[in-house]
């Protein structure tokens, strides 16, 4: 599943007229980068959620014949559901036995996506990088807490290894009942993971050795474009 529904407020003025998922890096829209990376991994079915300028994403997919694979669109025009609500809303396309790869549309990386390995209920791609908030893992790389470095607020066990979440995760469809029981219609997966870390097996996989950019921020977008240009 590709999360492409965000408002992209940090990328204004571009997102005043376009969805964030269509911002270009190296002359190619980010949504295309992600879809092509998923295809290269062997993915044959993708779900894309839409909200902000949803029709532009639908038109982009149609104009490219869905990049030759099966792409379903889940419509969040009426209400932006965030990643947790968005995943739950797409359950009819994803429920089954195979792991589900989740990828934010604003993440550019050279990480081989097939190198992610599902452990327990979920594996989160994480790295050592500057961030105001961190996920905390124990010595077995199992999620155990969360910390806000600016406010010192913590949740769960904050005594462990701190990593930043990179917007790519591999989850088991067995998490759907817990998502349904979370009690929220609009929610992010990160607090869901933290809240359930004591009863679910959620692990981190360090991808610090790979390039990674959050192009949802202007400064990171500039870095991503410079890196893409350097590869030409």
Distance CA(165)–CA(146), nearest Å, equals: 11
pLDDT tens column, 14-45: 999 999 999 999 999 999 999 999 999 999 99
DSSP collapsed to 3 states, 65-83: HHHHCEEEEEECCCCCCHH
The H-or-E segment that residue 29 falls in is strand 28-29
Q: Where are the domains of the chain?
A: 2-230
Distance CA(232)–CA(27), nearest Å, equals: 11
- Cβ atoms of 49 and 1 within 8 Å: the answer is yes
Superfamily of chain region 2-230: Spore Coat Polysaccharide Biosynthesis Protein SpsA; Chain A (3.90.550.10)
* pLDDT band with cut points at 50, 70 and 90 for residue 231: confident
Distance CA(117)–CA(83), nearest Å, equals: 21
pLDDT tens column, 98-145: 999 999 999 999 999 999 999 999 999 999 988 888 999 999 999 999
On whether the pTM is more than 0.85, the answer is yes
């Amino acid at each position: 599943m590709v999360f492409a529904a965000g408002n992209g407020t940090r990328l204004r003025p571009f997102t005043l007229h376009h969805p964030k998922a269509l911002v270009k890096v190296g002359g190619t829209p980010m949504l295309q980068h992600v879809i092509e990376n998923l295809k290269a991994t062997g993915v044959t079915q993708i779900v894309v959620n839409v909200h902000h300028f949803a029709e532009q994403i639908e038109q982009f997919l149609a104009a490219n014949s869905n990049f030759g694979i099966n792409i379903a669109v889940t419509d969040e025009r009426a209400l932006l559901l965030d990643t947790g609500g968005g995943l739950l809303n797409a359950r009819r396309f994803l429920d089954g036995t195979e792991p589900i790869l989740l990828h934010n549309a604003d993440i550019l990386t050279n990480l081989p996506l097939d190198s992610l390995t599902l452990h327990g209920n979920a594996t989160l791609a994480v790295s050592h990088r500057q961030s105001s908030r961190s996920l905390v893992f124990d010595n077995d790389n199992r999620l155990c807490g969360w910390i806000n470095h600016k406010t010192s607020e913590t949740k769960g066990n904050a005594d462990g290894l701190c990593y930043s979440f990179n917007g790519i995760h591999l989850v088991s469809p067995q998490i759907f009942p817990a998502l349904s029981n979370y009690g929220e219609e609009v929610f992010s997966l990160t607090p869901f993971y933290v809240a359930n870390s004591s009863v679910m097996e959620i692990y981190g996989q360090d991808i610090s050795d790979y390039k990674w950019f959050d192009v949802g921020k202007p400064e990171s977008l500039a870095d991503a474009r410079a890196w893409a240009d350097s590869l030409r």
